[in-house]
Each structure stands twice: as structure tokens, then as C-alpha cells.
């Protein structure tokens, strides 16, 4: 099953996706996310550092896995000069004009997130229904 919706100016990108996933009891993947941000909050590849930037950013890629236990999303954005940066999406990414979100719900699966001692994070566990 597909779910598509639009987020408007001022919305928190990750927070709104999490709310939608919980409300609709979704286990699935984020197929597409395009739009723009005025505030960017990401965790960088070292797993500890974060980056916060204010400005005008175009979402050029947004993907990840979705479960009621949490979402794991990565984002890439470009600035006004075409420079692209990306990382792990955090709360606090604020929509500028719009964000168009398309989700594929995997109805034969139940995704959960469970703590993994090796990584130190809650990681995806896939259950066949």
C-alpha cells in the first residue's frame, strides 16, 4: 500500500513523518521525499557529531525505514550554491515551502527496533507476518 502526503511550511519533517507512521501503524520504507527546508539538523557519519544550519535548502534525497518504534531516515540537501551535504535526519528540520512524502507500506512485514549492543543503537528487526 502506498501513502503520499504533503507537509507545509513550518512543520518538523521528521516529527511529522513519525506521527504519520504511528497513526497509520506502518512498517515500510520512505520511497521519496522532496521539498525545501529553512533549518537543517543532521547527525554526521561519526555517529556523535551533529550539524545545525539555517538557510534555504533543497531536499535532494530522503530515504529510510519506518516502524512504529521509530524511523531511520537519511537526508541530503543542497544549498543556494548547489553544495550538497547529508546525514542522519534529526528532529528540528523545518519545512520552508513544502515537503512531498511518499511511503511504501510493507503489509506482509512488521518492523521493530531493538537495542543492538554491537552498535549502541536501536536497530531494525524485520518480522514476517
pLDDT tens figures, 58-117: 999 999 999 999 999 999 999 999 999 999 999 999 999 999 999 999 999 999 999 999
3: left (phi over 0), alpha (psi -120 to 50) or beta: beta
Q: Alpha-carbon Rg of the chain, whole angstroms?
A: 15
Phi-psi sector, 62: left (phi>0), alpha (psi -120 to 50), beta: beta
Q: How much is the pLDDT for 62?
A: 98
Measured distance CA(35)–CA(99) in Å, rounded? 4
H helices within the chain, ranges in order? 13-23
pTM surpassing 0.85?
Answer: yes
| Tally of CB atoms within 10 A around 10 | 9
Q: Which fold has domain 2-128?
A: 60s Ribosomal Protein L30; Chain: A; (3.30.1330)
Amino acid at each position: 500500500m502506498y501513502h503520499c502526503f504533503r507537509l507545509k511550511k513550518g512543520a518538523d519533517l521528521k516529527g511529522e513523518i513519525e506521527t504519520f507512521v504511528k497513526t497509520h501503524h506502518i512498517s515500510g520504507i520512505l520511497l521519496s521525499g522532496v521539498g525545501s527546508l529553512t533549518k537543517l539538523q543532521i547527525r554526521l557519519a561519526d555517529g556523535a557529531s551533529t550539524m545545525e544550519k539555517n538557510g534555504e535548502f533543497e531536499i535532494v534525497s530522503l530515504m529510510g525505514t519506518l516502524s512504529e518504534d521509530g524511523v531511520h531516515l537519511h537526508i541530503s540537501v543542497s544549498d543556494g550554491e548547489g553544495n550538497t551535504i547529508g546525514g542522519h535526519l534529526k528532529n528540528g528540520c523545518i519545512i520552508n515551502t513544502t515537503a512531498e512524502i511518499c511511503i511504501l507500506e510493507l503489509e506482509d512485514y512488521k518492523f521493530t527496533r531493538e537495542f543492538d549492543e554491537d552498535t549502541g543503537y536501536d536497530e531494525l528487526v524485520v518480522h514476517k507476518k
